[in-house]
Amino acid sequence: MRRLLLPLSLPALTLAAACSGAPPEPAQPPPSPRAHDGRPPAAAPSTAETGAAATSTPETGAPAAQAGTAGGEGAAEEEQACPADMKLVEGEYCSEVEHSCLRSWYDKSNKKTICEEFAPAPARCTGDKTKKRYCIDTYEWPNKKGERPEVMNRFHQAQVKCAAVGKRLCTESEWTLACEGPEMKPFPYGYSRDATKCNGDHLWDDPDMKKVAKRDPGELARLWKGVRSGSQPECISDYGVADLPANTDEVVASETSGGWRGKFDSVHTGGPWYKGVRNQCRPKIYTHDEGFYYYFLSFRCCAEPDGKATEPRTPRQVQEGWDMARVERMAQFTVDEMRGKLELKQQGKCECKPTDIRCKTMCGTLLGPGAVDATPGRDPAATGSGEKR
């Protein structure tokens, strides 16, 4: 039996250009054809806009009950504490958790060991515990069951969208606690990785990064391997939050300062729909800056409970004295402009010219009409690619 100590994040590994069935999670900008600039074409430059690296650790288990949200007083409390489209998370977050890995395999292209099954014994907290109480979107943006998670937003664009509905980006620890539940499970559904519960293990499909950078609808549609929000009945955490790991990756706000992990405000969590990547609650990537976007990168929003006012700025922005006007300049659209687009979208009138990337980003219509939703589960050709059973 191998013992794995899983801290808040695993070290990021820069991915090799060669790949045999497993994707690199987004890597550095050119010259590599897999690399990509973290900035949309013709966009005003941000203070830090490049992408880098990857990390991982994934697994499997059984469906989880909605602890603290189901039945009687718990359900009534949640309804009162959070809006109808959010879940109340109340519990203790542990900064470092120890699990025992029973079965794993090594992914050569991503240079990481993937744990498929953890010992079902309770996880051990080896770090500090922090009490938390907050509201989190049930689904990824636009937080509506039956719709596709919206991708291709930069960090500040996601932040402005959350602010437009009176919310904020979730922090890294909030996302992790909502996923792990009170038992600090490696997967929201249990201790054994199962790509049929949370959509994953699809083969790498060699994106044309020049087309992705141009927001080519045909290429974005071809690359889409996601499923619609709420279509995975067993990909639900003990807090009742859906679709947290796998399917689309998610961006959250950093709570880490100092060292390479504290360089950017942007943190990636959950892992995308590919094989050999982080499709687990705890691992994080800290090496993509705020200008980064990608065809499998989504987000969800959080808010303060009990009707309290929600600060739209991130903890780091508050500390550094940012105002929302600065965030809006980085996003290239304002909170009010975004509210206007959301009203148009609700009326079915959020229409844009084919070349208007800003408008299509705000309306969430970048994904081409040819996109086809995936079937959750292992890609038939994916088994055996470095996998040891």
Q: What is the pLDDT of residues 338-381, one digit of tens each?
A: 999 999 999 999 999 999 999 999 999 999 899 999 986 555 44
Task: Determine the average pLDDT of the residues in 119-145.
Answer: 96
C-alpha span between 107 and 104 (Å, rounded):
10
Alpha-carbon torsion angle 196, 201, 207, 213, nearest 10: 60
Cross-strand bridge partners of residue 252: 267
Better-scored residue on pLDDT, 383 or 243: 243
C-alpha span between 11 and 198 (Å, rounded):
24
Percent of the chain with pLDDT over 70: 76
User: How many CB atoms within 10 Å of residue 346?
Assistant: 9
> Would you say 135 and 88 are in contact if contact means Cβ atoms under 8 Å apart?
yes
C-alpha span between 173 and 282 (Å, rounded):
9
| pLDDT value, residue 225 | 97
| pLDDT value, residue 27 | 41
Mean pLDDT (the chain) is: 82
| pLDDT value, residue 383 | 42
Q: Among 60-69, 193-202, 250-259, which stretch is predicted with the lowest mean pLDDT?
A: 60-69
| pLDDT value, residue 258 | 85
| pLDDT value, residue 111 | 86
C-alpha span between 38 and 35 (Å, rounded):
9
pLDDT above 90 (res 267): yes
User: How many CB atoms within 10 Å of residue 258?
Assistant: 7
CB-based contacts of 325-328 (< 8 A; 24+ apart in sequence): 327/156, 327/159, 327/160, 327/163, 328/156, 328/160
Q: For Cα atoms 288, 301, 98, give the angle at the middle one, nearest 5 degrees.
A: 65
Going by C-alpha positions, the residue among 29, 235, 236, 16 that lies closest to residue 107 is: 16
Phi, psi of 320 (to 5 degrees): -90, 0
Cα distances (angstroms) measured from residue 192 to each of 82, 103, 107, 384: 31, 9, 18, 18
C-alpha span between 117 and 102 (Å, rounded):
6
| pLDDT value, residue 77 | 58
Say what the pTM is. 0.80
Quick one: the chain helix, strand, coil %, rounded to 5? 20, 20, 60
| pLDDT value, residue 205 | 93
Task: Determine the average pLDDT of the residues in 69-95.
Answer: 78
- Residue identified by tokens 């979730």 is 170
Q: Which tokens is 182 given?
A: 């009170």
| pLDDT value, residue 189 | 96
Burial of 274 (0-12, 13-18, 19+ CB in 10 A): buried
pLDDT tens, residue by residue, 1-41: 433 333 333 333 222 222 223 344 444 333 222 333 333 33
Cross-strand bridge partners of residue 86: 137
pLDDT tens, residue by residue, 170-217: 999 999 999 999 999 999 999 999 999 999 999 999 999 999 999 999
